[in-house]
Amino acid sequence: MFGWLNIDKPQGITSRDAVNVIQKLVAPAKVGHAGTLDPLATGVLVLGIGPATRLISYVQQKPKKYRARFRFGWQSPTDDIEGPASPVEGPLPSREELEEVCRKFVGRVEQVPPDFSAVKVAGQRAYHLARKGTKPQLQARTVEVYSLELVAYEPPEWEIVVRCGAGTYIRALGRDIARRLDTAAIMVSLRREAVGNFTLADAVPLEQYRHVEDVLAHMIEPIVALGEWPQIMLDNSQQRALSNGQWIRLAPAPHGARELVAVNAAGQPIAILERAAGGKFRPVINLAPPGSSMAES
């Protein structure tokens, strides 16, 4: 029980609900998800199983791809169709106007998260405050939008495909595009098509997981999430030293690499290493139990 599942999450459930489905099948192994999808959203939800849960933060930082549909002339406190929506009067923009504004949202973008989001404000989730009727004081933060393409415009609805970095709220992106056009818009659908190299083409619908055998049949090798990182294969003695939290010296040390993936003879990741003083590398994340060697895994 060490690897990833690429789930196609259905609409109407939380990411935690999806985790719970798999957790019941693989207990006592741990399960965690690498990036929340709201109940409205569908698509790629990456789950880490067993020791892979320790690598989830690395997957969360990978670029993501979304396909989102919005409706002009409406606003809601959640910035999507799930909140109580109210109409906003005003003319609809032309396709040319919409395309011009969309181009301005590529690159480093200052974005205020939605009031109904998981961002913490004074130790509380913003959505907790919003549900109590208190408007959370959210600060703008910089997000990265690598590409944004308008793929359909059937007034009042429009659809975009976005590639972006971690922490980008797509419903806030649609909200802000509409504001630049002196109108409002709410998100009516969202589908995540990729998280790093986990793509929708390879995602398996959640309902296909009924038994532990289904999990094993679709388990993705743990190294897939770290494939672009430089790797170093360690011998048994080095593996045992790392599993006990010791620093090791690599000879020769990989030139210029600050972080490495240590793998065993089978190619499984056993640790994330970070360059330390004196030419040594220290384990940032250990994936093997203390005192063990995974060379024969």
- Assign residue 243 the CATH number of its domain: 2.30.130.10
Residues 208 and 281 both lie in one domain = no
Asked, for residue 191, whether it belongs to a domain, the answer is no
Residues 58 and 73 both lie in one domain = no
Q: Of all helices (H) and strands (E), which one includes residue 249?
A: strand 248-249
Contact, 15 vs 45, CB < 8 A? yes
For residue 134, the model assigns a pLDDT of: 62
Q: Of all helices (H) and strands (E), which one includes residue 32?
A: strand 31-33
d(CA 253, CA 295): 21
Q: Give the residue among 170, 224, 173 at the shortest CA–CA distance from 197.
A: 224
Residues 142 and 239 both lie in one domain = no
Residues 175 and 275 both lie in one domain = no
For residue 54, the Cα-to-chain-centroid distance in whole angstroms is 15
For residue 125, the model assigns a pLDDT of: 66
User: From the CB of residue 294, how many other CB atoms can be counted at a distance below 10 Å?
Assistant: 24
Asked, for residue 142, whether it belongs to a domain, the answer is yes
Asked, for residue 296, whether it belongs to a domain, the answer is no
For residue 115, the model assigns a pLDDT of: 65
What is the identity of the amino acid at 23?
Q
Asked, for residue 163, whether it belongs to a domain, the answer is yes
Compute the chain's Rg from CA coordinates: 22
Residues 100 and 178 both lie in one domain = yes
Asked, for residue 253, whether it belongs to a domain, the answer is yes
Q: Looking only at Cα atoms, what is the longest distance across the chain?
A: 71
Asked, for residue 131, whether it belongs to a domain, the answer is yes
The catalytic position among 8, 38, 79, 80 is 38
Residues 169 and 250 both lie in one domain = no
d(CA 53, CA 30): 7
* Total count of domains within the chain: 3
Residues 93 and 155 both lie in one domain = yes
Report whether the peptide linkage leading into residue 28 is cis, meaning its omega lies within 30 degrees of zero. yes
Residues 70 and 179 both lie in one domain = yes
Residues 154 and 91 both lie in one domain = yes
- CATH code of the domain covering residue 94: 3.30.2350.10
For residue 295, the model assigns a pLDDT of: 40
Which residues are registered as beta bridge partners of 80?
Answer: 187
Q: Kindly give the confidence (pLDDT) of every residue in the chain, 297 residues in length, as a single tens digit, with 9 standing for 90 and above.
A: 899 999 999 999 999 999 999 999 999 999 999 988 989 999 999 999 999 999 999 999 999 999 999 999 999 989 999 889 999 998 999 999 999 999 999 999 999 877 666 666 556 665 665 565 666 566 788 999 999 999 999 999 999 999 999 989 999 999 999 999 999 999 999 999 999 999 999 999 999 999 999 999 999 998 888 877 888 888 888 888 887 888 888 766 666 677 889 888 888 888 899 888 777 888 888 887 554 554 433
Asked, for residue 247, whether it belongs to a domain, the answer is yes
For residue 296, the model assigns a pLDDT of: 39
Residues 28 and 73 both lie in one domain = no
Residues 56 and 76 both lie in one domain = no
Which residues are registered as beta bridge partners of 66?
Answer: 162, 192
| Domain, as residue range, for 85 | 65-184
For residue 250, the model assigns a pLDDT of: 78
Asked, for residue 235, whether it belongs to a domain, the answer is yes
Q: By 3-state DSSP, what share of the chain in percent is helix, strand and coil, each rounded to 5? A: 25, 35, 40
User: End of a domain among 162, 184, 206?
Assistant: 184
For residue 282, the model assigns a pLDDT of: 87
d(CA 37, CA 33): 10
Measured in degrees and rounded to the nearest 5, phi and psi for residue 58 equal -70, -40
Has 17 been annotated as catalytic?
A: no
Residues 99 and 57 both lie in one domain = no
